[in-house]
Chains A and B, each alone.
Chain A
Amino acid sequence: MRAILLAILGYVFLAVAAGSGGIWPTPGGQPNVCMPLVVFLGLLAPPAWALPAAFLLGLGQDAISIGPLGVYAFAYGITAWVLVRFQLAVDGKHPLAQAFGAGFGQFVLLMVAAIQSYLVVSLSLRSSPALELPPDFGGAALGGMYTMLLTPLALFLISPLQKLLDFDPSARRGRTPRSGGGRSVGRDSTTWAGGNR
């Protein structure tokens, strides 16, 4: 049930991102429509679900983008992996936490894209390195700000699904000894057995 719901959510977010691509009435850049879902997964989902779901969402966005394959998958994976560590420390339902999570995700995405283009050009890893240009930092910064504004709104809209998906970090907080910290929680709940409901 949870997997089906997450697949539908991912499909809808990807489709809205593709449908609205290039026509946002936002000057200078456009928000990343899929980032709110990555933040939702990272801050609220159990790690065993958050990490693969964020990775697959990134892979989906890679598939519908014209850029190099793997950039979104890797960036979303890293973002979810870091946000999962903060699940017990911050209130994932707070709009500020969500906005900062989105800002962090956009920063990771920009860094991954910049490092990728730098490595491909400097190491001449491909036959046509001229195609790999550094990302547009100005547009990315503005896009990041728009994404930070969009994320709390988008997560408010999908908040009713949280109960349906049984995403409740506070319940896990109650079950986990404080002394263990985020690290042990991540390890305990990333096993296959822990992930299956």
Chain B
Amino acid sequence: MGDGVAMRLNIGHMFWILMGLAVAAMLLAPANFAAPVRTAASSTLTPVAWPVRKVFGLGQRRLAVNTPETPATSAGGKPMNADDEMRELRIELATVTQQLEDLKRLNADRNQLGQLRQRCTPADVLSADPGGRQAITVRLAGATPGEARDRLAVLNGSGLIGRVEGVARDVLRVRLVVDSGFAVQGTIGRFIENDGTVAFQKLNTPLPLVQGVAGRLVIRNISLKEATDSGITEGDWVVLSDPEWDPGVQGLKIGQVRRIRPYPLSPLFAEIDLTPSAVPGTLKQVMVLTR
């Protein structure tokens, strides 16, 4: 009888049983289900994913320096003449210069963190979510055991980037602030220079809830009247002010006000679009607040 059942249990049946399990998982499993296992799965792809990311990054840089002043070299396998060779060398030089600039920028970026830098561990970006969600996988450089934990703040010199949601040894999965459903409380204000010092002047608004919506950052919990009365304008900043986050990162930039308009789905409320302080696609290294 057992043999009969086994014979009838063909791959088609197995397939539909697995599909049923997939439906159950997508509807019932918690959002962070098996996060460590999933982070470990991401890290196993590193041997191929990391070089691919490097190549794509180089391609982006190459496209950036390949301006009309420095056009591409001769195609079709023809031997290069002196002009072509000179052009090729100029492109190489521009690429090396760009790399040097990147290193300088990285150092300046770290210095911008000030005191916070002592509490941070740098982490290289290994890969990103392939499905259009805003998440990256990073590896902590020289992490000591226990340093990598869930829910750590991730930042760079420009401001807040996201939060760790999944750890596998020294590999972390970071959900970015611009990811759909990510929400954090902030404060709206502007930086004012006075006698050589820069101070943050808070505007009189209710605490804004900054939400990530498919790669955008928006505030939708302030009424249009409150937004007008408080004088929010383009160029104002939103900084972190959320008791759920580490006290050290309070006041970190989240984004800059880009546009204020009535929220189409609820016109009495304002939809304030923010430009994220860190552009996810260009991240190469981030800092994780480990200490």
Contacts and interface: CB of A to CB of B under 8 A. Distances in A.
Contacts of B28: 125-126
Given A16-B52, A19-B51, A23-B56, A131 B31 contact: yes
A181 interface: no
Contacts of A133: 180-181, 213-214
B11 A22 contact: no
A69 B215 contact: no
Contact of B18 (A34, A55, A65, A195): A55
Contacts of B126: 18
Interface stretch (A135-143, A156-164, A170-178): A135-143
Interface in A16-52: 16-25, 29-30, 32-34, 48, 51-52
Contacts of B57: 23
Nearest to A69: B25
B45 A30 contact: no
Interface residues of B, number: 62
Interface stretch (A88-96, A97-105, A186-194): A186-194
A64 B45 contact: yes
Given A11-B48, A133-B213, A25 B60 contact: yes
B137 A23 contact: no
A89 to B, nearest CB: 20
B132 A70 contact: no
Contacts of A11: 45, 48
B58 to A, nearest CB: 11
Interface size classification for chain A:
35 or more
A52 B180 CA distance: 31
A120 B130 contact: no
A155 B213 CA distance: 33
* Interface SS of A by simple majority: helix
A177 to B, nearest CB: 20
Contact of B175 (A66, A73, A139): A66
Contact of B129 (A22, A58, A131, A186): A22
Interface of A: 11-12, 14-25, 29-30, 32-34, 48, 51-52, 55, 58-74, 77-78, 81, 112, 116, 119-120, 125-128, 130-133, 135-136, 139-140, 143, 186-187, 190-192, 195
The 7 closest A-B pairs by CB, nearest first: A19-B52, A21-B128, A15-B48, A17-B130, A19-B49, A70-B26, A136-B214
Interface of B: 10-12, 14-15, 18-19, 21-31, 33-34, 37-38, 41-42, 45, 47-53, 56-57, 59-60, 63, 126-137, 165, 173, 175, 179-181, 183, 213-215, 280-282
15 contacts: A19-B127, A34-B130, A64-B45, A66-B129, A68-B29, A69-B38, A70-B21, A72-B131, A74-B22, A77-B18, A125-B27, A125-B28, A136-B132, A136-B214, A191-B11
